[in-house]
Structure 1
Amino acid sequence: MDEMQNRSLLTNRERQIFTLLVEDFTTKEIAGQLTISEKTVRNHISNTIQKLGVSGRAQAIVELLRLGELRLN
């Protein structure tokens, strides 16, 4: 197993965004909180969905929880 496989699947920004999604923030609220555009938030979400090979935000969240990449507080 190489070192890349031991690293997190998510970038720090993707983790921030999905953590806020789990806390029920909207795309607009996440953009405001992180001082980035809504389009950038959507791009990060889309990239994560593609990485995981799932079809939407809800499935991405379930998969990230299953993989231990996200935790519920």
Structure 2
Amino acid sequence: MARRTSILTKREKEVFTLLLEDKITKEIASELFISEKTVRNHISNVIQKLGVKGRSQAIVELLRLEELSL
């Protein structure tokens, strides 16, 4: 069975995995060695890809699509 291609980039997945762990933007930036602006850009990109209104809806949708798991 072929592996399904993720709609998330590796970095977007890292960012949202940390969001699931209840990390704030500053903590995510520090952990991934990127700027807070870059973290926000990744979050915005995913929200746009999914056509949702915010981080929470993005997380719910990513869980539903099995892009993330709890």
Q: TM-score, normalised by structure 2?
A: 0.94
Aligned identity (percent) is 73
**Root mean square deviation of aligned Cα:** 0.5
Question: Structure 1 regions of 5+ residues with no counterpart?
Answer: 1-5
Task: Provide the residue aligned with 2:11 in structure 1.
Answer: 13
Question: Structure 2 regions of 5+ residues with no counterpart?
Answer: none
Q: TM-score, normalised by structure 1?
A: 0.90
In structure 1, give the amino acid aligned to 2:57: Q
Q: Map 1:31-46; keep pairs closer than 5 Å.
A: 31-46=29-44
Deviation at 1:57, TM superposition (A): 0.1
Count matched residues.
67
Once the two structures are superposed, what CA deviation does each residue of 1:7-60 show, in whole Å capped at 9, x if it has no partner? 100000000000000000000000000000000000000000000000000000
